[in-house]
Amino acid sequence: MLAAGPTDRGATLVAEGADGALRGFVEMSVRNYAEDCETDRVGYCEGWYVKPEYRRTGVGRALMAAGVEWARARSCSEFASDALLENELSYAAHKALGFVETCRIVCFKLCGEV
């Protein structure tokens, strides 16, 4: 594992093999709000990806653990993430790591003028 470009508010942590090949990454941030969280400094997984050939080998778990430690080092006592409703693989991976579903939302954007 190594951290690339960390700041107080965000970082990308990557997993590399012994050969230096990228196996996956997790993008972290510190948010002042996340659904169902109570504090104003929440460690948040903005993105999480493991190459298919390395899934179910512990790479994803190690990346998420490194992300949680990154957040704890920035005084976060809560940690959250999200997934698209149709992404059943991500949902299962989050559940396997102990995440609990807090809510389901629909997001909107404004197209055109008000």
User: Is the per-residue pLDDT at 36 higher than 70?
Assistant: yes
Kindly state the average pLDDT of the residues 21-41: 97
Average pLDDT over the chain, rounded to whole? 93
Which one-letter amino acid corresponds to residue 53?
E
Model pLDDT, residue 2:
47
The CA distance from 57 to 79, in Å, is 23
Q: Under CATH, domain 2-96 is a member of which superfamily?
A: Gcn5-related N-acetyltransferase (GNAT) (3.40.630.30)
Model pLDDT, residue 6:
52
In this predicted model, what pLDDT tens digit does every residue of 66-102 receive, in sequence order?
999 999 999 999 999 999 999 999 999 999 999 999 9
Residue 27 near residue 71 (C-beta atoms within 8 A)? no
